[in-house]
Amino acid sequence: MQSRLSLTGVLLATACLHFVRTAKLNDGPPKKYAIQVQDSYIDEVPKFGTVIKFNIDMANTAEGKAPYEVTISPDLCCLEISQNDFDCDSMQLRPPKTLHLGQIDRFDNKTGSVSFLFRNLYCRFRKGNCTFIISTEGKSPTTWKHTIVLNTYPPEDDEDYDQCAGLDQDPDRSCSPVDCAIKYKGKRNHYNTVTGHCEPVAKCHTRAPDRVTIIAYYDTEQNLCHSLDLNSSDNTVYLSELSIANPADRELMTSLLASVDGEKVKMEDIALDVMLGAGAPLDCNHGMQKGDVCLCDPGWVSSGLDSKQHTHWCDVLDDTNHQVSTGPIRLTYIQELCAIFALSVVNLLLFVGWILLVTFCLCCRNKCRAKSNTSEKL
């Protein structure tokens, strides 16, 4: 029984050592050092939690009064994506700068603690490890690395989540795909619908060294970079070798573009005018062609590429450069007539109102005189 237990322990130790070596991490200070890691752990991440908190407790094990200055800084975090795939780029702890814990004094039985934070919308269901660089200054200065095992999976008795087939299907959100750009900080932006994993976007140089000829296109569904060539029985015909002046070549270009410019594939930074070769006729609308571009007439600008990657030249009025006139305002003939009529009506109303006011005042005056005469006769 003891031999089986010892064999199991050796296998577990070998597996752990293999995992650490795979992630290229070194761990642990020699026990002879005075400063030791008393405890290191991560706080449990609740459902929909957005913070992973790493905690490190340091202790001074030296005899007598031996103060030390301890510095701890985050080094590297590696996530286990699959058995042979580790992501050591997307997870960066905050703060990234070096933290000074101050002196840890054995005489006063002091310990020091520090925490590092990682913020993300998808903090649960992560496995891997994170290393920290620990440096001490004092009687015996030294520097070493310490590893904290990262595991933010819920406890075994927690059943408040779904079982998903893919790593990047969120169990807390009904196994819906995660936003790869958010979870991996832009390092693995393509979601593979077959494996349920986020993958790094394939590098794809779509243009030749002349920066005009299109030589490849990116397949957004398969995350692959495809070369633009037509395989024939004799040889390979490249797009750059076709001529816009040749009707047969132009028909071949059109068929090739139709196969590329479908709903399945979106090409990067491609306009049909450029694809058809330098010097191809352009529809400049309110402008004049010069080389591969159109020079717009004054007051006109180009709206650019549409959803089908076709360029629209000089088709929009430019309303950004209107100049304000500093001269006197000139009215049209109709505007002048309307102004004269309005002023006449206003003057007429004022005149009638003045007449009514005078008449009212005279009437009131006559009534007052009549009343005074009647009173004198009585």
Q: What is the secondary structure of 76-116 as a DSSP string? A: EEEEEEETTEEE-SS---BS-S-EEEEEE-TTTT-EEEEEE
Confidence of residue 69 (pLDDT cuts 50, 70, 90): confident
**Domain assignments of the chain as residue spans, ordered by start:** 14-151, 169-199, 202-278, 282-319
CA dihedral 261, 266, 271, 276 (to 10 degrees): -40
> pTM of the entire structure?
0.53
Determine the Cα–Cα distance for residues 295 and 310; give it in Å rounded to an integer: 17
pLDDT in tens, 107-141: 666 778 889 999 999 999 999 999 999 988 876 78
Q: Which of 156-160, 182-186, 231-235, 364-368 has the lowest mean pLDDT?
A: 231-235
Regarding the domain delimited by 14-151, which CATH topology (the fold level of the hierarchy) does it fall under? Answer: Immunoglobulin-like (2.60.40)
According to the model, what pLDDT value does residue 266 have?
34
Q: Which tokens go with 17?
A: 């050592």
φ, ψ of residue 91 to 5 degrees: the values are -105, 105
pLDDT in tens, 336-377: 888 899 999 999 999 999 999 888 888 887 777 776 666 666
Which residue intervals of the chain are DSSP H helices?
Answer: 2-22, 180-183, 247-260, 272-275, 333-377
pLDDT in tens, 281-298: 778 888 888 766 788 888
Determine the Cα–Cα distance for residues 134 and 36; give it in Å rounded to an integer: 10
Determine what percent of the chain is predicted with pLDDT higher than 70.
66
Determine the Cα–Cα distance for residues 132 and 54; give it in Å rounded to an integer: 10
pLDDT in tens, 136-179: 887 678 889 999 999 999 988 888 888 899 999 999 999 999 99
Question: Greater confidence, 373 or 324?
Answer: 373
pLDDT of 260 strictly over 70:
no
Strand runs (DSSP E) across 210-336, as ranges? 216-219, 224-227, 229-231, 236-238, 287-290, 293-296, 300-301, 304-305, 311-312, 316-317
Taking the alpha carbons of 159, 164, 168, 170 in that order, is the dihedral positive or negative? negative
29 contact partners, CB below 8 Å, separation of at least 6: 35, 36, 37, 134, 142, 144, 146
Determine the Cα–Cα distance for residues 207 and 275; give it in Å rounded to an integer: 11
Question: Greater confidence, 217 or 96?
Answer: 217
Mean pLDDT of the chain: 74
90 contact partners, CB below 8 Å, separation of at least 6: 79, 183, 184, 185, 186, 187, 188
According to the model, what pLDDT value does residue 151 have?
95
